[in-house]
Structure 1
Amino acid sequence: MRIFIAVFSMLFILFGRAQTGREKRIDSLEKELKKAIHDTTKVLVFSEMARVYGGVDSLKAFQNGFKAIQLSKDLQYLKGMAISHIDVAGVYLDYFDIENAKKYYRIGNGFADKLIAKDSARDHVKIWLRGVYNLGVAYGFEGNVEKEIELASKTIPIAERMGDKMFVANGNTNLGIKYSNLGLYGKAYDMFTLSQRQFQEIGGPEDMVYHCLAFATCLANMDSLPRLKSVLDLAKKNLDKIPNSFYQGNYYGELGLYYGGIGEYEKALEALDQSYAYFESNPTHYYLKLLYQRYSDIHEKMGNYQKAKDYMLRYLNFYDREHSNSDIVGSYYRLAKQEAGLSNYRKAYEYLQSYIVAFDSMRVGELGKDMQQLEIEYKTATKEKEILALKNEKNEAALALEKRKSQAYLMAIIIGALGFLLTMGYLFYRSKLRKAQKKERMREAEVALLKQEQQNQIFSAMIEGQEKERKRLAIDLHDGLGGRLSGISLNLSKLDKDEPKEYPKKQLRKMMKDLDDSLTELRGIARNLMPETLVKFGLQAALKDYCSSMTGKDTKVMLQFYGSDKGIDLNQQVTMYRVIQELINNAIKHAKASEVLVQYIREGNQIDITVEDNGIGMADQKIKEEGGKGMGLSNLQTRVAYLKGDLDFHSEENEGTTVNVHINIDAA
């Protein structure tokens, strides 16, 4: 996907922002408030009015919300205190005041905990679900993905058991948005497809429009244009059922993105103009920022570099000036290209310099993000196993207790005379059971300590791998791409200094070739960091591509691929690719091998990977003593441990090296 196009997530608060008939609902609530006899009814009406006004009229939203809070406190109305605090938190979140949003969600959730402790009625549990889930959304806004996923995982299964289909559908759509923002488009696509079926079953037009526009952003990043058009058509069909919907502007913005993708630029500009008309009265609206970026993209494709540059500068200088590293990198690159198109070569050079600095910062940030994502997945898997183990233990204990009670009752009826002895025996048994349980708890504590030590070792190895990757990336950028761009800089400076009277076609052609070579090298670096072939076509294609690239006049790398890579999670495929990549590099760099054979064999859920070379080899004892310091053995062990596989080295001096990796996909 083009790095230039930014991803704006449409994270809306679950349960609370329906636009259909908003004005009618406000009128209905005003009438209901006037007729309300009981103060508890007034609390609920004030709270719902805060929810309805949220995102539209902040003054009325807060006025009604704080009225609900105060009245519920005066009445000591526990349900009202929970609902009103949660709804006020939602208003704060509408206006991106994250700290106050989290504060009021925590207060409301505390009241909700007390409410369901007294009465776990269905509507009370729904209040608790809404508060806990949206607290996770607030954490997500500030970048705490781990906490957001933790709270979503806590609430969605409960809603499923309750049969609350709307909660589950909204939750799945928001998880799709989160995966899309993390770049995990395959997982995002699966979540959106699931929630679309759910919304078609129980959702209204507003729900479908919200879902479709979120799904459209994901499909645009996947370059899935035919599916994007079908989703936008579904959005339009439902949008026509909603008079004066505030989603109109978003719809035409996504439609402009689609037309730009298929090359119908005039239609794209027409759609963007329709979208712009909805937002131009509010110059600080976040969607204008996205529109400036898309206008720039379309005008550049049409060859109007001046307009493209103007819109790009409006994007970068938007009032909030908040941009992700990837946005800044893409913007500087586009500006350099646009200035070059306008023959402003000095300015193009300056933007290229800014591009290099921003790109380096982005890679450092993304490496940290990858580490965080890996940690989230590890902790989530560990937690699920612990929960399952506790449930099994609880069920077994309950079953054993029932059995003992039945036996005790039966023995008491049949052998009343032996009641005293039976009681003494039962007490003695309970004493032994308590001792056994105490011993089991001590054993579990020791296992937990060992797990913590293992986790610390894995984390240390991951940090070491990150530092090596940063060092390699710095060398590639400095020695390769940096040198080429410096050459382009010198040529541009010389061209500017010489002030040629005639059009310097030959020099410009050479500089454009150097620039193309730089971009090729940049793509090579990016492909090495995250191979595009693997993401698009799978592990087999990526390995074939990599083995071909490593084959030269002095080295031959052969691949034998038996079985399929279908059904294997993308993260697992990436980790397998990294393991094989590291083993091939070791064979060529350290073992000085001239021939390397890579075998991938899959039978069902069992995968065996073998990398064999004819290099200088090393004694097995020496590998154990030195730990494979130069070969990155700790990083290999970390990656294989992540896959929950086994790693085996066999090597003899002057006889070559064979490395076997065995992986069980179910375990991974």
Structure 2
Amino acid sequence: MKKSALYFTNKSRETLLLLILCFLFNFSSAQEVLDKLKEQYDKVSVTNPERLIVAGKYATALFFNQQEVKAGQILKDNIQIASRLPDGKYAANLYAIEAMNYRISERIKESKSSFDKAKEFASKSKDVEIKGYISYCEGWLYTRNNKEGEAVRSFLRAIRYFDQAPPSRTLNSRKSTTYKELTSIYANWNEHQLQEKYSLLALDLAIQQNDPIAIFDAYMLMGYMYEQQYIKNDTNHKLRDQAEKYYLLAINTYNKNKATIPFPSNLSFVANNLAYLYFSFFPDSYQDQAIQYAELALKQGAATQQYTHVASAYGIMAEIALKNKKPERAKAYLLSALMEITKSSVPDQNIILSIYENLSEIAEQENNLAEAIRYHKVYMETFKSIYNQEQLELGKRLEAQFDKERQQQQLIRMQLETDKKEQQLRLLHTVSLQQKQQYENLKLHEENQRKELELTQLESEKRTQELKLSRLETQNRAQDILSFKNEISYKEKINKYYVALILFFLLVLLLMLYAYKQRSKSMRQNKELYNFSLDKERQNSKISILTAMLDGQEQERGRLARDLHDGLGGLLSTTKISLSQLTNKVDSPMKNDMQKSLLQLDTAVEELRRVAHNLMPDLLNRYGLEEALQDYAVRMSNVELDIDVQFLHYSNQLTKDEQLLVYRVIQELVNNAIKHAAPKQIIIQIVEEADYYTITVEDDGKGFDIDQVKGNHSAGLHNIQSRIDFLKGKFTIQSEKDVGTSVEIIFPKK
């Protein structure tokens, strides 16, 4: 019987699947995670950048729950919002997720396009972590394209970025996932030292995070790594014992944290590995442990519908039964394994082939030739179907092997570069030691200078003693000159009187100068107050002129609207009635022309009404600004243009004149956008705050050069500025070519 055929077939596949699952989910089952992410996504405001981060996680969860269309739509909607933000990290993150989703769906061209956009937006961001994440995604794509050498370079670059990034909620999970990818590649290359290095890094990171899921995964990967090394070197029993140790640590971690680890399928995977390890590589005295963990794998695999795990557990138990000379029990286990593997949505044909071969051998040993022949026939049919497929894949494997050897050569070159850098580091260390020695020399020099200073102080004290002696001699001489001082004291008093008189005159002069300066200061303040009053009067005059001008414009608009509606409108309606009456009296050839004329008159009347309404909107006077703008948005919207009006905290406290000014400003901005920018969407937002109003008009049109427009001194901007000056407000314009324009107006409440 072929040993462990059921078990080893799926090992590498299970490991890769496990890494993907651990990357996707952290704290609950798939549906619970999906519901939780949906709740978070709906709860966060559209204007909050946090929504873009939640959108990436939500789209990923939807994609792996077979809701690819919805996931793609959520990504596209949020990418449009993220692309307009100044920081490119949000758009880069969403484009990277979209690229990986496309790659899993085998849409190679779309995946490359999305990843190129992710790199473009990442280059515009100063966020170091997003640059590392884009490098990780690049390595992930290289791995799936069988370019493991390029993948390793990308993963190492990602780790360098992550090491430079400040702490965040996602940093450690992204770094851990990168370690696991490197572990998988180095395992394929049989680079056990590097595999062990990054496995230990993943384990240390998981322990630092105190994350039971990550710790469980790290223990499982470490056990699998040592098991594979022991299979290649079965004389080193330390490797076998290390594999057993980490598998047991993984199972103990799961048992202690059942409530927070939602992956019992991973437990069945580890239990199968440990059962096979005890059965194949330990003495027969460990057979009870092998059966114990095989039964654990059987129980957990059945509970989680992991039919491949169940089949593997039955296979191990069948081998134990055969070893104990119990063919009937082995046959029952193999038939159970066959039944379980066929429940899988994609059953592994190699496992089925092994089962039929083993059943045929057992039947032959029992001299049941008919049954042995029947199982052998099924075995041959399965083998032929697999053989044809393997022949097609043989060329691919050979090509992959060539790429692998080439990638190993690249790894050797990378290791040489690493050695070179280590030599440079050692050289830098030597330089550092030299600098340290120089520092010690400077300290010794400083100590010498301190002692010289002490010697100087002693000499100074000696000179002080000599000075005291000189003072005694001076006192004797002072007695001699005391009489001389008495003689000149009278003269000094006279001089003091003169000095006092001079000081008095100087004080009077200073007081006069002070009084002069105070008077000059007062005159200057009066002049400034006069200038301020004059400026205020000019401002009031300007506002009065602007008010009169705006009132005149609105009166003229109203008169034109009434004249157009009452005069030209009535004339067109009368003409339409006359033509309608003539239509029934003319012949058929002329009737079609008359109908076309009537349609043209209808169009003219509708256009006349639209022009009159724009000149003087009745809804503004009747119902206020909100209804007028909603009506204006509906009238200006069409198939190619969507205008959305939003009022936030608006209490309708603006006066009629203020509402009209706001309406005219928004009307001018929307007309300019439609005329010059060719947008697909315009968003008008009016927000009432405690002390002021904020008006924002955004479009996704062509954009323009702000400096160039300001230099042209356009009449439209002048009209807008005039109305905003009347409101005592200010406005700012932000525009970028091929992205769009955003105008923000702020004016105070009265």
**Between Structure 1 and Structure 2, which shows a larger proportion of helix residues?**
2
TM-score, with length taken from structure 2: 0.39
Larger Rg: 2
